[in-house]
Amino acid sequence: MTASRAPAEPTVREFEATVESVDGSEVVLDETYFYPESGGQPADRGTLDGHLVDDVVERDGEVVHALDPDADIDLAPGDEVTGLIDDAFRTYCARAHTASHVLYGAARRIADDLGYAGFDISETKVRVDLTTAEPLGDGDLIELERLANRAVWDSLPVSWATHSADEAREIDGIAFNTKTEEGAMSGGDAVRVVTVGEREDPWDVAACGGTHVENTAEIGPIAVLERSNPGEGVTRVEFAVGPTAIDELGAVHAAALDAATTLDARVGDLPDAVARLRDEADRLEADLRDAREELLAARLRDLPTAEVDGARWAIGTVADADPNELREPATEAVGGDEDLDALAAVGTGDAPFVVVAVGDAADGDGAAAEIDAGDVVGAVTDEFGGGGGGGPTFAQGGGLDADPEAVAAWLRER
């Protein structure tokens, strides 16, 4: 069995080893400092005697180095080789992995019934899945970021030690479950435990088989990007470390400054400025809605009138309106004119429609009492297509396949 020495000695970037076996482009060494993909941390990159290492995996208790399959592999068992690990990528992964522990430690301080549901390191961000009693909100994200960066600033030591499984489970507050065990146990009883902070009063402690920095100050800035809910009771927090975090924090600051300039306010006063702007927008929207209703009511009052079957109708076309907007002004128009029994407005545009409103006069005797708005709309849709419905005093129909003026003319001539 060949285990990676990367978790125990994460600062090693160059090493000498002996080839144990070669199977095509796959090579096993007597020892290796390459980290195999495990538990959410990607495999190391680098070269083996000049051959590009495409992937590193643990298989049947052996660390397998998958070399470039298109290259001419001239290695054989017994050969002495030099392994070179990509320093930039290993450093990024170590910082990102420790940052995930720091973020979990921050979550311990703000969330009840906290649990761990996995994590993943990608090129530009890190994902941590948390189980919490209540979903995390925007304020929680801000506090997570603040606490995590404070832990970085406090330069907390990061250490790791091996325990038996029973001993590990007895450690107070340890994050330990089937997901964190991957890579931490390596198929045996020994469990690797990573502690952030002093062991007497740790910031975080978890079973983990990944590579880590030795002090949180090495992580650099942490920027929380977003949250989502991939499953019941799970909050996914995505964050960036290093250059991506610096770029994100810079972009957020630039956006805040731009917004502050636009609103003629200081960045710290943006919440109040936005609240005032929202109130003003709500007031203007209400004023606009009232003005539009008055405009539509005026248009309906100006519709030409005609006598149809002994009842007095206002019939015509209306532009730039939809059926729902016309309900109230149409009802008010027939209700406020004692000489008007009913109103029919045909909407113009790409989707012609008709609305019919019947006034109180229709409740009396004579021809007006025979008017049923739903029946009129039904007659229109029978003649011009489409569909609709409604009651005796108001109905509407849409999908008319005709020129709106032709529909209005037909209503006048019924």
According to DSSP, the β-strands at 342-347 and 46-48 are unpaired
Segment 128-161, tens digit of pLDDT: 999 988 888 899 999 999 999 999 999 999 999 9
Lowest mean pLDDT among 181-185, 201-205, 271-275, 296-300: 181-185
With b for 16 or more beta-carbon neighbours within 10 A and e for fewer, the 170-209 pattern comes to ebeebbbeebbbbbbbbeeeebbbbbbbeeeebbbbbbbb
Closest among 360, 354, 364 to 414, alpha carbons compared: 354
For residue 413, give both structure tokens.
Answer: 């001539």
- Pair (232, 131) in one structural domain: yes
Give the count of alpha carbons within 13 A of 26, CB side only: 9
- Pair (125, 225) in one structural domain: yes
- Pair (326, 381) in one structural domain: yes
The structure tokens 């996995």 sit at 118
- Pair (253, 106) in one structural domain: yes
What's the mean per-residue pLDDT of the chain?
A: 89
- Pair (71, 163) in one structural domain: no
- The pLDDT of residue 361 is above 70: no
- What is the number of domains present in the chain? 3
Closest among 181, 249, 204, 210 to 103, alpha carbons compared: 204
Residue at 321 is within a domain: yes
What integer pLDDT is reported at residue 310 of this predicted model?
A: 85
- The pLDDT of residue 182 is above 60: no
CATH label of the domain that carries residue 344: 3.10.310.40
Closest among 159, 231, 169 to 195, alpha carbons compared: 159
What integer pLDDT is reported at residue 1 of this predicted model?
A: 65
CATH label of the domain that carries residue 220: 3.30.980.10
Task: Give CA–CA dist 330/307, Å, rounded.
Answer: 18
- Pair (54, 102) in one structural domain: no
Lowest mean pLDDT among 179-188, 199-208, 259-268: 179-188
What integer pLDDT is reported at residue 169 of this predicted model?
A: 86
What integer pLDDT is reported at residue 366 of this predicted model?
A: 52
Residue at 271 is within a domain: no
Residue at 406 is within a domain: yes
What is the DSSP annotation of 99-162?
HHHHHHHHHHTT-SS-EEEEEEE-SS-EEEEEE-SS---HHHHHHHHHHHHHHHHTT-BEEEEE
CATH label of the domain that carries residue 56: 2.40.30.130
What integer pLDDT is reported at residue 368 of this predicted model?
A: 58
DSSP 8-state class, residue 363: G
Q: What mean pLDDT do residues 367-389 have?
A: 87
Residue at 292 is within a domain: no
- Pair (77, 133) in one structural domain: no
With a CB cutoff of 8 Å and minimum separation 6, the contacts of 296 are 318, 321, 325, 326, 329
Lowest mean pLDDT among 1-15, 83-97, 174-188: 174-188
Of 85, 109, 132, the residue at which a domain comes to its end is 85
- Pair (212, 319) in one structural domain: no
pTM over 0.85: no
Residue at 73 is within a domain: yes
Cβ-based neighbour number of residue 81 at 10 Å: 18
Entry field: residues in the chain: 414
Report the C-alpha dihedral over residues 386, 392, 395, 400, rounded to 10 degrees.
30
Residue at 8 is within a domain: no
Could you tell me if 100 and 158 are in contact, meaning their C-beta atoms sit under 8 angstroms apart? no
- The pLDDT of residue 105 is above 90: yes
- Pair (179, 52) in one structural domain: no
Radius of gyration of the chain (CA): 36
- Pair (130, 187) in one structural domain: yes
With a CB cutoff of 8 Å and minimum separation 6, the contacts of 216 are 98, 102, 151, 152, 154, 155, 156, 158, 196, 203
Residue at 117 is within a domain: yes
Q: What mean pLDDT do residues 69-73 have?
A: 85
Measured in whole angstroms, the distance separating CA 139 from the mean position of its chain's CA atoms is 16
Q: What mean pLDDT do residues 168-175 have?
A: 86
- The pLDDT of residue 363 is above 70: no
Cβ-based neighbour number of residue 392 at 10 Å: 13
Of 262, 286, 308, the residue at which a domain comes to its end is 262
| Higher pLDDT, residue 168 or 79 | 79
For residue 230, give both structure tokens.
Answer: 């991939």
334, burial (CB in 10 Å: exposed 0-12, middle 13-18, buried 19+): buried
Lowest mean pLDDT among 13-22, 94-103, 200-209, 354-363: 354-363
**What confidence tier does 362 reach under pLDDT thresholds 50, 70, 90?**
very low
- Pair (136, 256) in one structural domain: yes
| Higher pLDDT, residue 182 or 292 | 292
Closest among 319, 314, 318 to 304, alpha carbons compared: 314
DSSP 8-state class, residue 349: S
- The pLDDT of residue 365 is above 80: no
What integer pLDDT is reported at residue 112 of this predicted model?
A: 85
What integer pLDDT is reported at residue 176 of this predicted model?
A: 75
Q: Which domain holds residue 125?
A: 91-262
Of 24, 54, 85, the residue at which a domain comes to its end is 85
Q: What mean pLDDT do residues 36-48 have?
A: 93
Task: Give CA–CA dist 3/192, Å, rounded.
Answer: 13
Task: Give CA–CA dist 161/270, Å, rounded.
Answer: 48
For residue 333, give both structure tokens.
Answer: 């128009």
Residue at 107 is within a domain: yes
What integer pLDDT is reported at residue 186 of this predicted model?
A: 52
- Pair (59, 100) in one structural domain: no
For residue 81, give both structure tokens.
Answer: 């080789």
- The pLDDT of residue 57 is above 90: yes
